[in-house]
Amino acid sequence: MASKQAIIVFLCLFPIALAASAPNVKDSKAIHIESKANKTLEILPKIEWPGRDNFTNQFSNNDTQYAEELLEWYHNQLLSFIHETHFDTFRFEVVMAKLSIDLSDIMNLAQEVVLHNNQVSRQLQYVAGAFDMMMRCLLILNFYDFVGTSENYVVNRVVDLHVRILKLHTSHGSLNTDIKGCEDMLMGFWLNLDEWQEALWVIPELSLEVQTLIDEQVAQARARIRILFSQIPRKHN
C-alpha cells in the first residue's frame, strides 16, 4: 500500500515542474514545527493576490487534519480564479508558478500523511489534478486566444466551460451539494456543450486538430458532469 501511495505522490508532483520553471521564485516558505506535546504542520504563505485568503488556522490537533485543511485552503485558492461566467486566465497565469510552489510545499509537508491515509491521498490527488487541468486549459486558451475565427471561438468556449465545472467540486472531488442550484448548473453545462458541438457543424473546412481537441474536451467535460449528476441527493416522497 505504501508503494502505491508513493507513486501517487510522484504523479502529483510531476506536473508541478511545468509551472514552477520560472527562475528565482521564492515567495512561499514552509516550515515543520515540533513541540513536546504535539507535532504539527505550518505553511507560511507570502504570496498575495486579490481575492487570496491567507491560511491562518493555527495548530490543528494532528498532521492528518492539518494536511486536509491545507488542501482545502489550496483548493479554495484555485476556485477563486473560476467565476460563474468565465475562467480568469489572466490572474491565474500571473500567479501560476507561485501556486505550484504552494502545492509543492503542501505535498512535502503532507507526504507522511499521504502514505498512510487513503482519504488525504485521494484529496491530494484531486487537488493536484485540478491544478494540472487548469494549467493545461490555460495553455490551450492562450494558443487559441484569437477568437476572430469561428473554430477558435468554439475551442475557447468549450475549454472555458470545462474549467468552470471544477467550481462544483469539493476539495475531495465530489459534488459540492452546498451550492444552490447545482443540478440546474450541471444541466446548463451539458446543454451548452451540445450547442458548441452543433456550432462545429456549420464551420467550413474545420481542421482535424481542432475537431480532435474539441471532441476530447467535450468528452472529458461530459464525464465530469455525469459523475457529479450521480452524486445529486435524490428527494424521497
According to the model, what pLDDT value does residue 88 have?
97
Q: Is residue 137 part of a domain?
A: no
- Which amino acid, 109? L
Pair (123, 200) in one structural domain: no
CA dihedral (211, 216, 218, 223) in degrees, to 10, reads 160
Burial of 123 (C-beta count, 10 Å sphere; 0-12/13-18/19+): buried
SS3 annotation, the chain: CHHHHHHHHHHHHCCHHHHCCCCCCCCEEEEEEECCCCEEEEEEECCCCCCCCCCCCCCCCCHHHHHHHHHHHHHHHHHCCECCCCECHHHHHHHHHHHHHHHHHHHHHHHHHHHHCHHHHHHHHHHHHHHHHHHHHHHHHHHCCCCCCHHHHHHHHHHHHHHHHHHHECCCCCECCCCCCHHHHHHHHHHHHHHHHHHHCCCCCCCHHHHHHHHHHHHHHHHHHHHHHCCCCCCCC
- Indicate if the pLDDT at residue 133 is higher than 70: yes
Q: Is residue 136 part of a domain?
A: no
Mean pLDDT along residues 185-198 = 95
Using the 3D structure, point to which of 67, 96, 129 is the last residue of a domain: 129
According to the model, what pLDDT value does residue 62 have?
80
User: In degrees, to the nearest 5, what angle opens at C-alpha 232 toward C-alphas 231 and 236?
Assistant: 120
User: In degrees, to the nearest 5, what angle opens at C-alpha 123 toward C-alphas 122 and 127?
Assistant: 115
Q: Is residue 42 part of a domain?
A: yes
Q: What is the mean pLDDT of the chain?
A: 81
Mean pLDDT along residues 73-88 = 96
Query: Could you list the residue range(s) of the whole structural domain that residue 197 is in?
Result: 144-237
Q: How many domains does the chain have?
A: 2
Pair (117, 39) in one structural domain: yes
- What lies within 8 Å, CB to CB, of 80 at 6+ separation is 51, 52
- Indicate if the pLDDT at residue 101 is higher than 50: yes
Pair (96, 154) in one structural domain: no
Per-residue pLDDT tens digits for 20-59: 433 332 333 333 333 333 334 444 445 555 556 666 554 4
According to the model, what pLDDT value does residue 180 have?
92
Question: pLDDT-derived band of residue 9, with 50, 70 and 90 as boundaries?
Answer: very low
60 vs 181, higher pLDDT:
181
Per-residue pLDDT tens digits for 207-222: 899 999 999 999 999 9
Q: Is residue 135 part of a domain?
A: no
